[in-house]
Structure 1
Amino acid sequence: IPAPPGPREEIIYVPCIYRNTGTGKPDFLATVDVDPKSPTYSQVIHRLPMPNAGDELHHSGWNVCSSCFGDRGKRRDRLVLPALISSRIYAVDVGTEPRAPRLFKVVNPEDVFWKCGLGYPHTSHCLGSGEIMISTLGDPAGNGKGGFILLDAETFEVKGNWERGDETPPMGYDFWYQPRHNVLISTEWGVPKCLGYGFNPQDLKKGRYGRRLNVWDWSSHRYVQAIDVGEDSAPLEIRFLHNPDAAEGFVGCTLSSAIHRFFRTQ
């Protein structure tokens, strides 16, 4: 049965970054009016500055998403903003006043460093367990390390690592999971202490940019397979098909400009 169409979005939230622009201001979250009937259509109607400069906000995520479908006790009212360079994680209250969000909580980098041994957070997804899972690019020192942070979706306290076992990928970036096929696949960008300060082609020859899709067993949280997509590729955004039964998807590579289809073979 097709799902009924939802209401049209009236506002969107856009992370705006000042880092490396020569402007010593904190990044901010812009609220943009996208309602064609509104007198402020296509305008920034609110700015929420972060309390620190130099964060480099990157991807954003929700405290509740489709993984919580059917749970009427859940409400999508917190926006998760991982800071790629500072390793802070901001939780923004967008439920109290959607057109004028306010800061709800700051997860300091020390909590991530000490509890997870990770840093440089990137992609945030909610889980049906009531947790938020965030992928990382490296360890606290800026070396490459693909791992995952778990936060409590209510308190935003750091709970620890999602991954188990001693083996982890050498790099991280984005991820997507498909519980019906017991799989999570993550991607690789590069070594944070190199890419964080600009692209240097010499780093390609030194193996400081990624080239693999990393496959995880969803139920055991263990790293089980690497799929090489080629030299000088840097696979970034990855998605399974929207059909929850699908065992295939696509990944885009920033350096090679290739788009690869991945699929289950057995």
Structure 2
Amino acid sequence: MISSSWGAPAAFTKGFNLQHVSDGLYGQHLHVYSWPNGELKQTLDLGSTGLLPLEIRFLHDPSKDTGFVGCALTSNMVRFFKTPDGSWSHELAISVKPLKVQNWILPEMPGLITDFLISLDDRFLYFSNWLHGDVRQYNIEDPKNPVLKGQVWVGGLIQKGSPVVAEGEDGKTRQYDVPEIQGHRLRGGPQMIQLSLDGKRLYVTNSLFSTWDRQFYPELVEKGSHMLQIDVDTEKGGLAINPNYFVDFASEPDGPSLAHEMRYPGGDCTSDIWI
């Protein structure tokens, strides 16, 4: 079993504070345990490339001793793997560059990778950038060399109409086109994702943690979450927002509600449990 070390509840429950990173209240390690007796066998230091490691996913093929961890603050996807001597090692697999921005709390904005998953056939890896606002698809048939195959913008802090703008290398400012779905402007940023077993439908919600939602996307707390469907090209790769699918949690009986995790009753790509 491998676990990540996101951060201390005393820090993240109060909202994100960059000083807490310097204070050591957020992690940068993976911990390898023998199972089922729970003995700690090894600790991997991800260093400056692996700040705030969150979700961990192994490849589904049980013969492959490798997987990935999404590191939120540095917005890197790190691959971990077993070496010939039986120990574990890691390497940087995918990096999302921070954007230089105007009218935000910091001069640079990380993508903030908050969730990712791997398709059941181990061909594609998907992840969400909660602050930038995009969902990505990578081909990982060669886990050492992921290839970007699809990307869609479904919210974020730098969508058109936002006060925040990104600065390009050419010095020009830009924002991203985010479509309305069934007349609804998309709120917040993409967060939790779930993939159908056939790999053709990717579902996206947008609440991370209510305290962080309130800090970065106050409108999300006021108006509630929504769930979207992204259609997946499982042959050549590619993503497209389904314009006919929009689940609005604004009008829940005790709402507005914040939508987070999703599960298929018969099992899904992240639980590996089928009934």
Letter in 2 for 1:105: L
Q: Percent identity?
A: 9
Aligned to 2:166: none
Q: Does 1:188 align with 2:206?
A: yes
Q: Structure 1 length normalisation: TM-score?
A: 0.62
Rounded Cα–Cα distance in structure 2 between residues aligned with 1:172 and 1:205: 15
Aligned pair in 2 of structure 1 residues 130, 149: CA closer, same or farther (>3 Å)?
Answer: closer
Contact kept, 8 Å, 1:31 with 1:45, in 2: the verdict is yes
Q: SS of the counterpart of 1:138?
A: coil
Aligned pair in 2 of structure 1 residues 232, 130: CA closer, same or farther (>3 Å)?
Answer: same
Aligned to 1:137: 130
Higher relative contact order (CA closer than 8 Å, sequence separation 6+): 2
Q: Displacement of 1:164 after TM fit?
A: 8.5
Letter in 1 for 2:260: L
Q: Displacement of 1:124 after TM fit?
A: 2.4
Q: SS of the counterpart of 2:69?
A: strand
Q: Deviations over 1:214-266 (max 9, x none)?
A: 1223347321222012344221111112358xxxxxxxxxxxxxxxxxxxxxx
Q: Displacement of 1:97 after TM fit?
A: 5.4
Aligned pair in 2 of structure 1 residues 13, 243: CA closer, same or farther (>3 Å)?
Answer: closer
Rounded Cα–Cα distance in structure 2 between residues aligned with 1:95 and 1:217: 37
Give the alignment partner of residue 242 of structure 1, picking from 239, 243, 266: 266
Give the alignment partner of residue 4 of structure 2, picking from 15, 24, 27: 15
Contact kept, 8 Å, 1:216 with 1:223, in 2: the verdict is yes
Q: Deviations over 1:29-85 (max 9, x none)?
A: 1012233xxxxx3332210111217710111112x32xx7xxxxx943222111112
Aligned to 1:229: 249
Letter in 2 for 1:211: S
Give the alignment partner of residue 95 of structure 2, picking from 80, 83, 108: 108
Q: Does 1:161 align with 2:153?
A: no
Aligned to 1:175: 193
Q: Does 1:89 align with 2:77?
A: yes
Contact kept, 8 Å, 2:201 with 2:231, in 1: the verdict is yes
Rounded Cα–Cα distance in structure 2 between residues aligned with 1:53 and 1:221: 27
Aligned to 2:35: 34
Aligned pair in 2 of structure 1 residues 236, 27: CA closer, same or farther (>3 Å)?
Answer: same
Listed as ranges, the matches of 1:9-88 within 5 Å are 12-18=1-7, 20=20, 22-23=23-24, 27-35=28-36, 41-52=37-48, 55-62=51-58, 64-65=59-60, 75-88=63-76
Q: Deviations over 1:187-217 (max 9, x none)?
A: 1125xxxx79x64757675336851111223
Letter in 1 for 2:229: V
Aligned to 1:121: 113
Aligned pair in 2 of structure 1 residues 106, 243: CA closer, same or farther (>3 Å)?
Answer: closer
Q: Deviations over 1:172-194 (max 9, x none)?
A: 1111122659532111125xxxx
Aligned pair in 2 of structure 1 residues 109, 34: CA closer, same or farther (>3 Å)?
Answer: same
RMSD (Å), alpha carbons: 3.8
Unaligned runs of 5+ in 2: 9-19, 100-109, 155-176, 180-185, 269-275
Contact kept, 8 Å, 1:187 with 1:213, in 2: the verdict is yes
Aligned to 1:207: 220
Q: Displacement of 1:107 after TM fit?
A: 2.8
Task: Report how many aligned residue pairs link the two structures.
Answer: 206
Q: Structure 2 length normalisation: TM-score?
A: 0.60
Rounded Cα–Cα distance in structure 1 between residues aligned with 2:85 and 2:265: 33
Unaligned runs of 5+ in 1: 1-11, 36-40, 69-73, 140-144, 245-266
Aligned pair in 2 of structure 1 residues 243, 23: CA closer, same or farther (>3 Å)?
Answer: closer
